[in-house]
Amino acid sequence: MDDNLTTPLSYISQYNYCKRRAALLMIERLWDENSYTAMGRNEHDHVHTPAADHKSDCIVVTDMPVFSGKMLLFGKCDAVEMYEDENGCVISFLDNKKFIPYPIEYKHGVLRNETEYELQLCAQAMCIEEMFDCHIDKGAVFYITSHRRREVFFDEEKRKAVYETVKQLRSLLNSQTVPQAEYSSKCKKCSLNNLCMPNLEKSAKKYITMIHGSFKEE
């Protein structure tokens, strides 16, 4: 495996949601859609068109490409609110004016606390920081169904967690190993459930134990 290969930003949240899911996506190239992913994709349509819309207090840049040479990550921000500020950084594609970027990640559903999305958002901020030589303190995850945002602060703990996730993703890619399934409540909503078959291993072990026990009785 080439250590210089870049990794999509979205795998930050995938890995922290489920290591096996991340490996199935990255290594096995598996994908399947269910009602949750379909709704999320449809709701994302309006932020997946590149644009720079002027609002009353900021410029909203949608579908903004970002990249980190240090972490070898690439991807796109759903939206970045650019607040003009003399203490901000120069954004070349916005007339070289100074702005403080505020990244926003759009997610399907109602307001909730999910670490995996916060880390994905933090990774986006770290990419922007590297690209424009700035520091970003915070951003937000916007939950489309409830039309509410949860503000996220990019503290040292989250930044370390992003670096650690990148390290683990590189390890998975280099080893080409898919972790064993660990069934949890998350599996019910996972679009890869039928491909992952998280209950199969336990069912197989139970069957073998039953057969082995019947031989002993005879």
- Single out the residue of 159, 172, 171 nearest to residue 130, CA to CA: 159
The pLDDT, as a whole number, for residue 168 is 94
First vs last C-alpha separation in the chain: 52
State the number of CA atoms in the 13 A half-sphere of 101 facing the CB: 32
Mind listing the domains of the chain with CATH numbers?
A: 7-217 (3.90.320)
109 pLDDT band (50/70/90 cuts)?
confident
- Single out the residue of 106, 87, 88 nearest to residue 44, CA to CA: 106
- CA torsion, points 151, 156, 157, 161, in degrees to nearest 10? 100
Residue ranges of alpha helices (H) inside the chain are 10-17, 19-26, 35-44, 115-132, 156-175, 193-196, 200-217
The pLDDT, as a whole number, for residue 190 is 76
pLDDT (tens digit, 9 = 90+) per residue, 19-71?
988 888 888 887 665 555 555 555 555 566 888 999 989 999 999 999 999 99
pLDDT (tens digit, 9 = 90+) per residue, 172-213?
988 888 888 887 777 777 777 777 777 765 544 554 454 445
pLDDT (tens digit, 9 = 90+) per residue, 134-151?
999 999 999 988 899 999
Q: Does the global pTM surpass 0.95?
A: no
User: Rounded to whole angstroms, how far apart are CA atoms 189 and 207?
Assistant: 26
User: Rounded to whole angstroms, how far apart are CA atoms 88 and 92?
Assistant: 12
CB 7 within 8 A of CB 157: no
Look up residue 40 and give its amino acid. Answer: G
pLDDT (tens digit, 9 = 90+) per residue, 120-135?
999 999 999 999 999 9
- Single out the residue of 45, 11, 16, 23 nearest to residue 116, CA to CA: 16
The pLDDT, as a whole number, for residue 101 is 98
Residue 97: is its pLDDT beyond 70?
Answer: yes
